[in-house]
Structure 1
């Protein structure tokens, strides 16, 4: 087969996106004040069985907002995985609190729940749960620890639109839970984020934080410093159209994951994603693979070879404790998390977007096999 171009992700925008955007333009409601914002917030709250949805401009500031809304600050500690996007730790560091890191489970790639309790101190105020790549964290154990030690749960469900844990929606477990709508997410509006909660006071505080602490009746009198984290009506319109198809998106993602697994199950030298646990079937937000240690190559080498074949890939998260910006702050000095470090160096993901055709998946697998074979020589 001739070389073709397969992107790591392409959003699918062939539902009501154009119709709803035209409604925004025709009505003139393109700002945060438009009706699609409230509609999207209510839709995400319904999807996650929550009372309140609070839209923001992206998933990273959703984390910032959650940390500020919970009033975390200096001398507070927040337990989180080291194997995650930097936004999680950045939100904690920005308020002067300290991230306390946990290594990864080598099979699910999520935070190793068994290591959390030993990290809890008198300064611990919250556990930040991050569901990684397709399988949720074991939330029963997290909720038990939070109750035992009176801790908040911040649930980062950025990659889990439509996923469940023991039948309950991801995004329904935290005191406050967050989502991202970046283009590679199951629901996208280009950029955008959402917080969901059942706590009315938390919801109201999130609304104030995201909107410069404008107050009812005295708009330009500010009791605190807030931020402009608002989502536009244009973004929300796209989000509403995407939300309408979430079940079909999840079904397509699982089809992609199952086909990759079927085609790769006998291939030597790689670890495939866990297809299911007793609490959830993998949603395959992305289809990640991890190279065996016996292969004297890293993910970067394999990604470069696949790129030469026209195949887009992306590396796994780089560990929080190895981030140069945090090293310059003298954070995490001497800390080592071997599983997460291995995932960061040996892991990457294959094209996984919902526009992906079966023939493209087969092409990716064929070229991956060639690259692996060459690496083993």
Structure 2
């Protein structure tokens, strides 16, 4: 399958008219921001709890960043968080489905339309899942995907831009034509990506099964479990635990690996105040649920968590 055919296939999979492959998720965001034709130097709202690469990509594209706090239920930025920081300088909202849990992207889309700003939906950790019967990645004026390490499609390379707008599509395509570093390249990469897209639904079912197992079997009341429903398929399963340092030290002694993404981006500001992002920063642990995760690892994580005592 060639580039044009794969892009058409991806667009169809996400109920979109257009898709463009890029060299990475970061370049997909930079290209989407440029395609929006938002004035350089205007402001972009994004969540204070997410991968810092999002912030850097926005700045590299020539925009100011306004951080918004997140919900402790969805671990994502919601409309009330956006309203709290919105001002006349804002031209774009970047809504991210945090940890793979959907934000209420339909409500954010309505808010963006009401205020005449562009919505970029970052589905990099969540694609392959749905919200209200629609694929995540189908809601923004532009939506972006990543195929980097530990994403739903772990290709170690590549990203994509999705849109229904002919104008936005042509603008994004023009940007990519002028910026070789942002272009997707390599026939072998195309072949691998095509195969992995064909296998995506199966892989997501395995991921969801792993999440279901953790959700059902973790019972230690010291841990706050993640919000969960039939539409949620986590990137890494999140838990909140007080005195995290003690827990992680004990886990390390027992040879069990947990991660702790993400730090609050408010730490990069002098006067930022994002209490939920800070709480996540201080208390979150992440459990691997990717399809390659063996059942033995899942079982060992559950047993260690359930046996843990903060003493």
TM-score interval w.r.t. the shorter chain? over 0.9
Q: TM-score, normalised by structure 1?
A: 0.78
Q: Which has the higher helix share?
A: 2
Report the counterpart of residue 246 of structure 1 in structure 2.
Answer: 200
Give deviations 1:52-104, integer Å, cap 9, x for gaps.
11111111111111112212344411111111111222122223321111111
Report the counterpart of residue 190 of structure 2 in structure 1.
Answer: 236
For residues 313 and 236 of structure 1, the distance between their equivalents in structure 2, rounded to whole angstroms, comes to 33
1:17-32 equivalence runs, <5 A: none
Structure 1 contact 286–350 (Cα < 8 Å) conserved: yes
SS at match of 1:128: strand
Shift of the alpha carbon at 1:155?
A: 0.6
Aligned-residue Cα RMSD (Å) equals 1.8
Q: Structure 1 regions of 5+ residues with no counterpart?
A: 1-34, 214-225, 324-331
For residues 279 and 262 of structure 2, the distance between their equivalents in structure 1, rounded to whole angstroms, comes to 11
Shift of the alpha carbon at 1:352?
A: 1.4
1:272 paired with 2:238, answer no
1:296-335 equivalence runs, <5 A: 297-298=243-244, 300-323=245-268, 332-335=269-272
Structure 1 contact 37–237 (Cα < 8 Å) conserved: no
Report the counterpart of residue 132 of structure 1 in structure 2.
Answer: 98
Report the counterpart of residue 158 of structure 2 in structure 1.
Answer: 192
Structure 1 contact 43–243 (Cα < 8 Å) conserved: no
Structure 1 contact 72–95 (Cα < 8 Å) conserved: no
Q: TM-score, normalised by structure 2?
A: 0.93
Shift of the alpha carbon at 1:304?
A: 4.0
Report the counterpart of residue 107 of structure 2 in structure 1.
Answer: 141
SS at match of 1:281: coil
For residues 227 and 122 of structure 1, the distance between their equivalents in structure 2, rounded to whole angstroms, comes to 34
Shift of the alpha carbon at 1:301?
A: 4.3
SS at match of 1:314: coil
Structure 1 contact 77–124 (Cα < 8 Å) conserved: yes
1:177 paired with 2:143, answer yes
1:20-59 equivalence runs, <5 A: 35-59=1-25
For residues 45 and 336 of structure 1, the distance between their equivalents in structure 2, rounded to whole angstroms, comes to 39
Count of aligned positions: 310
SS at match of 1:271: strand
Query: Which structure has the greater CA radius of gyration?
Result: 1
Give deviations 1:316-367, integer Å, cap 9, x for gaps.
11122213xxxxxxxx331110110110121021121202233321112112
1:287 paired with 2:241, answer no
Q: Structure 2 regions of 5+ residues with no counterpart?
A: none
Structure 1 contact 263–365 (Cα < 8 Å) conserved: yes
For residues 47 and 17 of structure 2, the distance between their equivalents in structure 1, rounded to whole angstroms, comes to 28
